[in-house]
Structure 1
């Protein structure tokens, strides 16, 4: 496409992306892609110096055939978006992916009245390297109604493991990412900045939750491999919320902190006391949090021990991954996880113990942790670091 205009295609039957004035706009390109079978690509060749702003006056057509929209093809692209899709109050969603097998890469998508990107029912889409609710500078807030919405759609990937694949999702009026519906199975959210600017530090919180899950299952948020962890911070409500019911997700390897209410909330009901049980049909089966019985700092070595559950010896929590984080607040308060200090694994009876070499930790600090078996717990209560 070669125009920042918003005019429609003149003749859908001719196979040419061409408006009445002879230009190829994003709207016309989507219309032509929808008009023919098979996978299509939209590449950018906008003239003049960037960044480039395409103002969308009315809802763009839903993408009904597999389509790759690639902002990296714009001359002058280096590593971050230089093409902006800017909505108006009448613009609805920025992009709507219904067919599946599509991708959206390296665009800034902002000011849309509904979602920046809406996905479903078709699955297997990739969304990476975009600024959602943020301008092309990576810092300026330009809110959508919500960031990315997945409704009854499976196998989508939001983000990636390289800086160029990272989405920056912040400042939106609703959720950063919403994944709803029983058909939303096996979606992945990896390597994103949610609630911070492109520098990974400056607060750009979403007004609702960072990530909102309801009725979806086997969602992967973060991971244990390099680059898979997300930053999820500064939400006005909850960092990651799993609504009541059988919603399930694994949430390892992330930095989740400074969200206004809970960091991770299983059941959308605030911190849940440990009960020693895994209960099918509840959010993440209600997996219990770690309980720390020893937190001892000697020089640069931090020794921790404890158990997952309501008491030591509960085999339901054997083999769990326990992630230990430097937290904020006071001992006994619900914790958070800005800095990962180390990882332990529970024995068959649910107990754990480990020693890590750490920096930036002092006696009087507090730590917190999560447990991940089949699914991931809330954050534990803070435990005091003792000398």
Structure 2
């Protein structure tokens, strides 16, 4: 009977998984194959008010100087993506810059220059730029004129070879600037005014940061390799964000390879894992940065791969703040050995000892496990003296079910368990839904606490798990109590037919160091966290520092139907964690709970809490985010000086954000947007709206920060309308406060007279006088949507205490007096 049931289960899982691998990738807006078509598509983009993707079919585009001049997207929020590697008709794509070449033909005046809106997206990916020639301009320039801090300008998986430019080869001026996994070699710059092969400028008022990771920048003349500027004639450009320069090979460039002479030490910077010859920076570089010969295979022939014996192989960082690249320059596997290779090209050299799982059997015996089983492979990994990899080679089609009836051996070494090696595996292709075809199911059947466990005493352990499914574990499918730099990516936890739930999917606890759960810029790294009877992800390690990125929490594989966890993500006495770009909904309690006095410095940005990827709003059965038991200094949304990072929090059966009576102070809630929560959008103390205090600070969560009281708001007429708001704030004397304004189509129905923080309008700073009073008069740019005619505000102190959303007033339309009649010309 059991065998019959197992065959039935297997067949159902096969049908269920196959059903999710039939959807084609979205086609680009423009599919081009000639220079004329490319030029026309760019000119079309200049006229549009929506984001545009231009797909370049594989081949060489003899552009010459036809692309010179500015392509202007400023004044509109239309983003632009130029993506190489498409086949004829743009039905499939291979990201490899050798297959799509933009050739300037060495014609004078050949360059690419894009003026972008500060809040728009620009991406150049998977192309080669060669023989562009401009002595006056940058070869590739992407810059903003207006102010904003949401824009992302990125160049990824590209080659720049044998170009001649003026000041810069790649020049960016904006908020989020990313140069990732490119080859930049044998280029020449001719202008001595602040030149740089990669030159990135912090923009005043943009809250800028730069990510320059895993590039090979070599053998260039006329300028340094990497230049990042945050000091201008006006002084230091302030920013709350952290820049990262990591795992690059930057050698044989003119002057310094890494030039940070105009980068202020007041700005946050991680500079680690690079190979270089000369660097200029006010602070010493740590020992992870090396001044050695990277040993290219044959740079004279433009082969910048790594030769056997190169110090760049298997020596990069275990952890990059913004996640490891999805693949290498030529679309190869990015991490083959124990660590990522430095530079743009991953070597095939693997320093891992490998065991192969050849059967799905499990005898439950940790001392004498079944040969060829997963249990035997983990035992071999623990006995190994160095990094170890476990791959799978199983006969038959996917999926393969491993049923465990006893507790698995602890993982005590540096172990990678990778089920992507099985034939039939395909990775997830999108964010917000899960269409991966995973081939290995580990089933605890409710009989064992976990599939994989790193014990607290294993301080040198590191566990990486790719491409597996887990069900039926009574503690957590993966529990990390020790070690550090763990990676959990591309897995499915729960929502597997005819299996029991996991208590939790992943728990990071006790003495464990940081773990990365999910990832960025790589949809194959997304995890599905579904149907847990306890918190889906449980973080209570004292070291904190975990990163949760792009996970799908509380959904079935289609990203729409519910698969409820008790709580989506639970943090207890764990500091400095990052929750970014996750979908979190359908929890039977809260979406996210942060608890305990040691929970400080946690950041939640760009999450969709209560929303699915298609825009549906299933909500959560408690607060969207709850902060309890003295948890403090949480950033929910923007930093104190920025607009970026807002979360969308919807349909909570309770407040959107609840800083409960036991919650701590310094919890800022900024630039988020809320919809249809069943209690106030931001709630301090006992459930429901609270009145302002006689003065601040007061005893209670966020020191019961008072909200602004608005008295009137008026929308001006004309082509560029604005909204002028009047009001007052009574709070701490002689103090500075950030006032955030929110628009909605109606006041908050759950709290008569109070506002609804549906659409963030903007913010200003005000200062109270000696009696704690501030008169507020603010003018902000009005949105086009005149139906957003109710306005309210929050106040946030310099220490990060955000108030509840204040009173709601109607935005009145200014009366335009008829000039002719008012002057007596009736």
TM-score by length of 1: 0.83
> Which among 145, 150, 153 is matched to residue 571 of structure 2?
150
Give deviations 1:243-266, integer Å, cap 9, x for gaps. 113512011111123111121110
Q: Distance in 2 between matches of 1:205 and 1:364?
A: 23
Q: Deviations over 1:105-126 (max 9, x none)?
A: 0101101111110011331111
Q: 1:347 to 1:13 in 2, by over 3 A?
A: same
* Residue in 1 that maps onto 2:507: 96
Change (3 A) 1:31 1:229: farther
Which residue of 2 is the match for residue 52 of structure 1? 437
1:273 is matched with 691
Q: Following the alignment from structure 2 to structure 1, what is the Cα–Cα distance between the partners of residues 746 and 609?
A: 22
* Contact 1:266–1:286 (Cα < 8 Å) also in 2: yes
Unaligned runs of 5+ in 2: 1-355, 363-373, 382-387, 395-399, 427-434, 439-468, 519-525, 814-826
The answer to whether residue 492 in structure 2 is matched with residue 84 in structure 1 is: yes
Structure 2 distance, partners of 1:341, 1:378, is 16
The equivalent of 2:767 in structure 1 is 347
Q: Check the 8 A contact 1:133/1:142 in 2, yes or no.
A: yes
- Structure 1 residue aligned with 2:656: 239
Cα distance, 1:213 vs. partner? 0.6
**Hey, what does 2:755 align to over in structure 1?**
335
- Among residues 369, 375, 384, which one is paired with 1:9 in the alignment? 375
* Alpha-carbon distance in 2 for matches of 1:191, 1:340: 14
Q: How many pairs does the alignment contain?
A: 362
Q: CA deviation at 1:286?
A: 0.4
Give the aligned partner of residue 802 of structure 2.
Answer: 376
Closer, same or farther in 2 for the Cα pair 1:315/1:284, shift >3 Å?
closer
Q: Counterpart of 1:14 in 2: which secondary structure?
A: helix
Residue 43 of structure 1 contacts residue 70 of structure 1 at CA under 8 Å; is this kept in 2? Answer: no
User: SS at the partner of 1:94?
Assistant: strand
Match of residue 130 from structure 1: 551
Is residue 68 of structure 1 aligned with residue 483 of structure 2? Answer: no
In 2, the alpha carbon distance for the partners of 1:259 and 1:297 equals 27
Question: Could you tell me how far 1:330 is from its partner in structure 2?
Answer: 4.1
1:186 Cα shift? 1.2
1:301 aligns with 2:712: no
Does the aligned pair in 1 maintain the 2:617–2:651 contact within 8 Å? yes
Residues 41-96 of structure 1 deviation map (CA, whole Å, 9 limit, x = unaligned): 55551542552362412232421222533435xxxxxxxxxx42216555211111
Which shifted more, 327-336 or 142-151? 327-336
CA distance in 2 between counterparts of 1:240 and 1:97 reads 24
Report the equivalent of 1:182: 597
Where does 1:174-253 land on structure 2 (aligned, <5 Å)? 174-199=589-614, 201-214=615-628, 215-224=630-639, 225=642, 227-245=644-662, 247-248=664-665, 249-253=667-671
Distance 1:210-1:226 versus aligned 2 partners, 3 A rule: same
Q: Cα deviation per residue 1:224-250 (whole Å; 9 max; x = unaligned)? A: 446411111111111111111351201
Aligned to 1:77: none
Q: 1:367 aligns with which of 769, 777, 791?
A: 791
* Shift in CA distance, 17/363, structure 1 to aligned 2, threshold 3 Å: closer
CA pair 90-51 structure 1, distance change in 2 beyond 3 A: closer
Partner of 2:412: 35
**1:115 equivalent among 520, 524, 535:** 535
Q: Is the 8 A contact 2:747 2:756 kept in 1?
A: no
The alpha-carbon distance between structure 1 residues 6 and 278, as it changes in their structure 2 partners (threshold 3 A), is farther
Q: Would you say the 8 A contact 2:471–2:500 is kept in 1?
A: no
What is the match of residue 705 of structure 2? 287
Deviates more, 1:42-51 or 1:368-377: 42-51
Q: Is the 8 A contact 2:684 2:804 kept in 1?
A: yes
The alpha carbon displacement at 1:385 in A equals: 1.3
Contact 2:697 2:732 in 1 (8 A): no
RMSD, aligned α-carbons: 3.2
Distance 1:318 1:386, change over 3 A: farther
Say if 1:173 and 1:206, in contact at 8 Å, map to a contact too.
Answer: yes
Question: SS at 1:326's partner residue?
Answer: strand
